[in-house]
Amino acid sequence: MTAATEADAMVRPERDLVARVRAGESIACARMMTWAERGDARFAAVYGEFESELGRARRIGITGPPGAGKSTLVERLATHWRAQERTIGIVAVDPSSPFSGGALLGDRVRMSSLALDKGVFIRSMATRGVFGGLARATDDLADVLDLYDRDDILLETVGVGQSEVDVARSTDLTLVVLHPGGGDTIQAMKAGLMEVADVYVVNKADMPGLEQLVHQLTDTLDVRDVPLDERPPILTTVASSGEGVAELAERIDALDAERRASGKRDARRAANLRLRVRRIVEGRLQHDIWQESGLARTLDERVADGRTLSAYGLADEILNAYRERRNLEGPA
Ligand SMILES: Nc1nc2c(ncn2[C@@H]2O[C@H](COP(=O)(O)OP(=O)(O)OP(=O)(O)O)[C@@H](O)[C@H]2O)c(=O)[nH]1
Ligand SMILES: [Mg+2]
C-alpha cells in the first residue's frame, strides 16, 4: 500500500459517516454530532468533504431567560414548519425543562407528535465539558444538521452568560423570548441580550403584566436610540396554547426572505464566519500553548518552586519558550 492509499484507508470510515449523514441516517447524524461536541479531530478532518454543501439551512436562535417558554415555543414553531413539509433540526443547550419530544432525555420523555416524526431531529447538549466553547460546538452541530439536510435549525439557549449570547449571535436570525412579571428586560439587558434580538417575543401573553413589559421594551429601544426602521418587531405569543405562533413564524419567514433578497443575510453570515474562525484559531492556539507544548506543566512547576515571581515576567517566559519551540519545529 502506498502512503497515500494508506492514509485514504484511515479516513475512509469517516468519509462513510459523511455519506451516511448526507443520506439522512439519524444514527450517523448523532455520531457526527458527538465528534463535533467533543472537538474530536475526526470532525475537522472530514469537514472539507462537505463544507461546500453547507449554508442551505436557516439558522434560528431562540434565547431568553430561564422559563420564558423557549422550548414550548420551539416545539410550536417546529410543528408549524413541519406542516409545510420543512424538515427541522433542534439543538437545545443545557435544557432544564426538556422538550416533550426529546427522545434523548430518557425517562422524561412524553409522547408527542415531534418525538415520532422523522422530520424532526432533536439534540440536547450540556454546557459543561464542551470542548472549545459553546459557540464553537453549536456552530459545528448546526453544520451537521445542515449536512443532514434540515431546512430549519433551531438553537435554544438560556440567555444568561456571554457564551450563550455568542451562540445567539452565530445565527441568521435570533428571537429573544421574554415573559411578563420577571423583571426580564433589565436582566436581559445586563446579559447583553437586547443587542442580539432580531425579533422580540413576549411570551405568556396570558399572564398579567403584558402591557408593562411591552412598554418597557419599547422604552429600552427609545433610550438606546435605535432608528425606527431597524427596530426588532415585538410579537406576543401564548406558546402553551399556540396563540400568535403562526403570526410569529410568518414574520420570521418574511424577515428571512427580505434579508436574503437584500444581501443582509450574506453579510451577517460573513460576520459570523469571521467570529467563528477567530474562535477556532484562539482555541487551537490555547491548546497548542498549554497542552501540545507542555507549558501548562512548566507554569505549574515555576509557580510551585516557591520564589516570588512577577506575573508579567512569567507570562513573557512562557511566551518566549513557546516561540522558541515553534521556531525549532518550523512553521505549523
Ligand atoms: N401561562 C403560560 N405558560 C407557558 C407559556 N409558554 C410556556 N409556558 C409554561 O412555562 C413553563 C416553562 O416553559 P419552557 O418552554 O420549558 O421554558 P424554557 O424557556 O424553555 O425554560 P428553560 O429551558 O428551562 O430556560 C412550562 O411549564 C410551560 O408550560 C405561555 O404562553 N403561557
Ligand atoms: Mg427550554
Residue 275 pLDDT greater than 70, yes or no: yes
Question: pTM for this one?
Answer: 0.86
CATH (residue range 54-264): 3.40.50.300
Q: Is the dihedral of CA 240, 255, 124, 185 positive or negative?
A: negative
Closest Cα to atom 25, ligand 1: which residue? Answer: 66
Are β-strands 173-178 and 152-158 bridged in parallel, bridged antiparallel, or unpaired? unpaired
* DSSP 8-class letter at 322: H
> Per-residue confidence at 67, pLDDT binned at 50, 70, 90?
confident
For the chain, the domains span 1-52, 54-264, 293-329
Q: Which of 85-94, 202-211, 224-233 has the lowest mean pLDDT?
A: 224-233
Q: Residue 234 burial by CB count (10 A; 0-12/13-18/19+): exposed, middle or buried?
A: middle
User: How far is 157 from 135, CA to CA, in rounded Å?
Assistant: 10
| Distance of CA 220 from the midpoint of ligand 2 (Å) | 25
Split at pLDDT 50, 70, 90, the class of 74 is very high
Q: How far is the CA of 321 from the centre of ligand 2 (A)?
A: 46
Residue 162: pLDDT band (50, 70, 90) is confident
Ligand 1 lined by 67 (C-beta under 6 Å) = yes
pLDDT score of 106: 37
What separation, in Å, do the N-terminal and C-terminal C-alpha atoms of the chain show? 27
Q: How far, in Å, is the centroid of ligand 1 from the Cα of 63?
A: 13
The string of pLDDT tens digits covering residues 291-319 is 888 899 999 998 888 777 789 999 999 99
SS3 of residue 131 by DSSP: coil
Q: Which ligand is nearest to the CA of 96?
A: 1
What count of Cα atoms within 13 Å lies in the side-chain half-sphere of residue 315?
A: 3
- The reported pLDDT for the residue numbered 167 is 83
Closest residue by Cα to atom 14, ligand 1, is 69
Q: In this predicted structure, what is the pLDDT of residue 259?
A: 95
**Whole-number percent of the chain with pLDDT over 90:** 55
With the most atoms of ligand 1 within 8 angstroms of its CB, the residue from 240, 243, 247, 248 to mutate is 240
Whole-number pLDDT of residue 300: 92
Determine if ligand 1 sits within 6 Å of the CB of residue 68: yes
> pLDDT-derived band of residue 268, with 50, 70 and 90 as boundaries?
very high
